[in-house]
Structure 1
Amino acid sequence: MRLKEQIIHQSMRLFSLHGFLNTSMRDILEAANTSKGGFYNHFKSKEDLLFAVLGEARRLWKERSLAGLDQTGSAVEKIRKFLTNYRDNYLGDRDSIPGGCIFVALAMELADQKPHLAREVSEGMSGLKRMILRILKEGIASGEIRENVNAQAAAELIFSGLLGASLIYSVDKSIENLDRSIGIFIDYLDGLSPLNPSARTQGTGPPKHERRK
């Protein structure tokens, strides 16, 4: 791994664990096994590094969370696939983000002290909500989801719930609690089917075949 890539990788790990503000330049240099000169050969500042980390984090998120969605025809199955990808492939990558979702952690940390950076972090999160809304609308149009479902409200529920589950996971690192949260979202999705007119808002966890081995 080249030095620039090493600095980005180690910084992503540190930011996911401790946040941007609580990670010092010394922490970064030690983790990347480099000097100030080595760092400034590649980055103008710590904020410049953050933008590079966010770029790599977005690439990683898309690669892990969206894998296989294009090959999934059903709207509900697309969201189900995304949720299980997010849990198993993205949050499961303890090498890159041992502290949990870096976007959730940084958005919370930077909102008050560095709002211009928080806006940069939150940009992708808004895109996620739009993606969920688009897929739900496709499901309603195709008849897979009941026509009386409020797509905007459903997207907000799934999006907000996922952020909450991610925040809790960043604190307790409990796979059991994360599985339970993802299971609730999957139960809710199943309840949107015309074959299941009473939409469920609670669940005891993912079906047995969905649980992480």
Structure 2
Amino acid sequence: MAPFSVARRLVAEALGAALLLAVVVGSGIMGERLAGGNVAIALLGNTLATGAALVVLIWVFGPISGAHFNPAVTLVAALRRDMPWRLALAYPVVQIVGGVLGVWAAHAMFGEAILQVSTKLRGGGAQAFSEAVATFGLVGAILGTVRFRPEATAMAVGLYITSAYWFTASTSFANPAVTIARSLSDTFAGVAPSSAPAFILAQIVGALLAAGVFGWLLKVDKS
């Protein structure tokens, strides 16, 4: 990562998270409005927009901040000593703030009430397990591509999230900041605040498991 100042890194994380959530929530609203009640079509639109945006956002902000946009990814980076803990503690704050601002921007663009609380329950063990699996795979994709093909990380993350929208029961939030921000949108992409704690716990567990498994898997044996 280039030697950008702490202030620039924090702004990059906040701005990236804001744009990501604007895409997630905005494309969900657009998809639902255009799909005529067909949830599969609405989800497809939401999926493609999110995956594409992730690729671009990581390309743009990666050289500045690492383009985490995700407290779980930041936690793994800190545990691996890829970034100092002082910075790692600041990243989640700006990621969450940026995410909430992005949700509000999406509401404003579509003429929705700015301040909302989601009523969309996503409860149950299957949903939480899905978030653990989704986050495990996301962190694995990041660690694997950073190790072997760092230039492909943005594409790998975008493609993985695109697929995980469809193979997980929870539609792959895989991000505590995204979960918190989406709890403040009573739209297609929302999640009820009562469902958020289980999601966040599962995401952290999935990230820690991935850090352990891939940390071992990718370690070069000394001859």
What is the TM-score with the length of structure 1 in the denominator? 0.42
Compare CA radii of gyration and give the structure with the larger one: 1
What is the TM-score with the length of structure 2 in the denominator? 0.41
Structure of higher RCO (CA pairs closer than 8 Å, 6+ residues apart): 2
